[in-house]
Structure formats: structure tokens, C-alpha cells
Amino acid sequence: MANNADQQLIQQTLNGDSRAFAQLVEKYQEYVFTIVIRMLKVREEAEEVAQDIFIKVYESLSSFKGESKFSTWLYRIAYRKALDQIRKNKNRVQAFELMEELTEDKHVLASNPSEVMEEQERNQRIKQCIHQLGHTEAALITFFYFDELSIKEIASITELSEDNVKVKLHRSRKKLYDLMKRQAVLSENLRNHGQTI
């Protein structure tokens, strides 16, 4: 169903209807932005790269043959672009700025006692844990949990073998679990959701 809707929007875009492409951007911008920001760790840079990704997608749309899902094809472009940016970007200052930003956020949020703020603080701590993963690990976690892609699809996006994806994903999950445990995110999570498990 989603595939048909995407295919229709792609066809309309290829026929010159730019509004159809805007709909595709609206639909996938959060997924693409999440992948990129998890890999690059810097919001402003991630936004720029995400924009470049959609421009690249527009330019290459005629080469999309529909052999895979549009989302898989799009994520492959996003993953490669983010990797290219990481290779280009050797600036350590940005990583330092990010750590500062996260620490500042933590202080602000921790000082607010309300329940909503507590929830936000918990989410912020989970984000910090994801930020501490390497770029490939963060991308794998995002593909696996946010868009619930299969191992086969993740392998196709990252151009890794399925076995390699399985191993890396297992390690990433274990690492993230340990980080969250250390940040005491999971214990609170257990308190809230433990009954349903």
C-alpha cells in the first residue's frame, strides 16, 4: 500500500509535479533526519546533509527502478551521504560542542521537577546514550528499531553482509543496553513498562 502510494508520487514527480516530491519529503524527512543526526551528531550539519540527500534523491529519481522499497533506496542514499560527510568532516571541535550542548541540556532539564520534564530528561538521557554509539552502530540501531527494517534490508542499505549486520547489530544493542543501564534509564523504564513485558 505504502509502496503504491510512493510509486505514484515518484511517477508524478518524474512527470514534473514538484508538489508530489514535496509530499515525499514530508513523509520521509524525519526518518532521514534521524539517521543523519544519529550518525553525524550535530543538528545543523545533519539538517544540511538531509537537505542534500533529498536533492540527490530528486536528481536520481529516474534511476529508481522499484526493485526494492523506495524507503530502502532512500535510506541507502542517506547512509552513504552521511558516511561521506563523516569522512570529509574531521573537525573535532564540533564533537566537543555537542558534548557541551548535551551537558548543558542535562543541567537545565535536571533542575526542573515536573513530571513532563522528568520524561523529557529521560528521553534526553536515552538520546545521549545513542549519541555515544559509533556512527554505524547508531545507524543500525535506528534502522532496526525506528523503521523496523529486516536484516536483509539493513544489509542492502549498508552494503554489509547479513552475517556482519547481525554481529554488528548484536554488539550495538548490547553496548546501548549497557550505556542505558549505567545512565539508569532502563531501571526507570522498567518501573513504567515492566508490567507489560
Partner 1 sequence: MDKLSSREEEQLKKAVQKVGLEKPSMEFTANVMTALERKMVRHIKPAPLLSKKGWSVIILVFVVCCSLIYFYPKEGIELFDQVRQFRLGFARNIFEGVQISRTMVFAISLLGLFLLQLPFLMQLVNKQRTVE
Of 36, 65, 184, 179, nearest to 122 by C-alpha is 184
For partner 1, the closer of residues 159 and 178 by Cβ is 178
What is the closest distance, in whole angstroms, from the C-beta atom of residue 43 to partner 1 in the complex?
Answer: 8
Supply angle C-alpha 143, 95, 116, rounded to 5: 65
Quick check: 21 binds partner 1 (CB under 8 A)? yes
Query: Could you say which residues in the range 144-163 bind partner 1, by CB under 8 A?
Result: 145-146
What is the closest distance, in whole angstroms, from the C-beta atom of residue 67 to partner 1 in the complex?
Answer: 25
Report yes or no: 76 and 156 within 8 Å, Cβ to Cβ.
yes
Residue 27 identity (one-letter amino acid): K
Quick check: 58 binds partner 1 (CB under 8 A)? yes
What lies within 8 Å, CB to CB, of 96 at 6+ separation is none
Query: Could you say which residues in the range 23-52 bind partner 1, by CB under 8 A?
Result: 25-26, 29-31, 33-34, 37-38, 46-47, 50-51
Binding partner 1 (rule: CB under 8 A), the pick from 6, 9, 54, 143 is: 54
Supply angle C-alpha 165, 167, 169, rounded to 5: 65
> CB-side exposure of 62: number of CA atoms within 13 Å?
4
* Residue 159: DSSP 8-state: T
For partner 1, the closer of residues 31 and 67 by Cβ is 31
Quick check: 185 binds partner 1 (CB under 8 A)? yes
Quick check: 190 binds partner 1 (CB under 8 A)? yes
What is the closest distance, in whole angstroms, from the C-beta atom of residue 119 to partner 1 in the complex?
Answer: 9
Quick check: 9 binds partner 1 (CB under 8 A)? no
